[in-house]
Amino acid sequence: MRLDHEFTVPAPIGEVWQAVVDPERVAPCMPGATLTKVEGDRFSGTVKVKLGPISLLYKGNGEFLEKDEKAHKVTIKASGKDSRGAGTAAATVTLTLTEADGGTHGTVATDLAITGKPAQFGRGLISEVGGKILDTFAGCLSGKLAPAEAAAPVAEPAAEPVPDRAGPAAEPTATAEPVAKPQPAVKPAPTTAEINTEPKAKPAADRPALHSVPAPPETEAIDLLDYAGQSVLKRLAPVLIAVAAVAGLVAIVRALRK
């Protein structure tokens, strides 16, 4: 089954991309999700989901199939399983950012395959709950981008409004491309599970420059930079899978009462 969601963040596409690939900034925006392991393009994560009577600890893993910074498009494939054996699901998630009027438009296409009992549920609840999660995510991201943007006007490239918002992969101008963060040649895989879970309540002044090369980060952040890239999607995929599972379980809950 195919699910489509959209969100809009009122910030330039370069900033959004940069933010999206900076797990430290966006991690707190994804509720309940934690990366437990990252090895190259493969990753594992857990998602704790609470919805009404249902409370699940969902474990997912997956790999990252494509990252196209020019097209601002990332594709990952992930599968997951409830830790208590309630169901399994697999998903391919594609996130595409395009420039929109005064901001950035994100589309998330999820191709979902579900086996077992959850297969009986409809797409309505999944789509609805997935949409709510993305709304939360986008709202949180907007909140994080706004102060950073104000604090780093120098790094801001000349905003060039691109009217073609229909283009699936609007090619950003070269100046709109953010300065890439230096990637360490060697990428030791971080294994700590806590890296993304603690609240990041730093004021904007602490993190002034979105586009400039960051100051030497704390030890935690070094690990994060190692896999800066698709962490958000890596987190998003388990979330979507968990959402799908929960929606299925809701259907089961109802089915059991019939």
Of residues 68 through 87, those in contact with another protein by CB under 8 A are 84-86
Minimum CB separation from another protein for residue 197, in Å?
17
Using CB under 8 A as the binding criterion, the count of chain residues that bind another protein stands at 27
- Please pick, from the candidates 56, 76, 108, 112, the single residue that binds another protein as defined by CB under 8 A: 56
Minimum CB separation from another protein for residue 56, in Å?
7
Q: Give the position of tokens 């002044």.
A: 205
- Please pick, from the candidates 102, 124, 143, 184, the single residue that binds another protein as defined by CB under 8 A: 124
Phi-psi domain of 136 (left: phi exceeds 0; alpha: psi -120 through 50; beta: other): alpha
Does position 123 interact with another protein (CB under 8 A)? The reply is: yes
Length, in residues, of the chain: 258
CA–CA separation, 3 vs 24, rounded Å? 27
Does position 52 interact with another protein (CB under 8 A)? The reply is: yes
Of residues 102 through 121, those in contact with another protein by CB under 8 A are 121
- Please pick, from the candidates 39, 128, 135, 171, the single residue that binds another protein as defined by CB under 8 A: 128
Does position 51 interact with another protein (CB under 8 A)? The reply is: yes
- Please pick, from the candidates 54, 146, 179, 193, the single residue that binds another protein as defined by CB under 8 A: 54
Contact region with another protein (CB under 8 A), list: 6-14, 108-116, 123-131, 140-148: 123-131
Backbone torsions φ then ψ of 44, nearest 5 degrees? -130, 150
CA–CA separation, 176 vs 5, rounded Å? 25
Does position 258 interact with another protein (CB under 8 A)? The reply is: yes
Does position 95 interact with another protein (CB under 8 A)? The reply is: no
Of residues 227 through 256, those in contact with another protein by CB under 8 A are 249-254, 256
Minimum CB separation from another protein for residue 8, in Å?
18
Minimum CB separation from another protein for residue 138, in Å?
17
Query: Nearest Cα to 64, choosing from 47, 42, 35, 87?
Result: 42
CB closer to another protein out of 1 and 155: 1
Query: What b/e sequence results for 132-154 when a residue is b if at least 16 CB atoms lie within 10 Å of its CB, and e otherwise?
Result: ebbeebbebbbebbeebbebbee
CB closer to another protein out of 174 and 256: 256
Q: Which residues bind another protein (CB under 8 A)?
A: 51-56, 84-86, 121-125, 127-129, 132, 249-254, 256-258
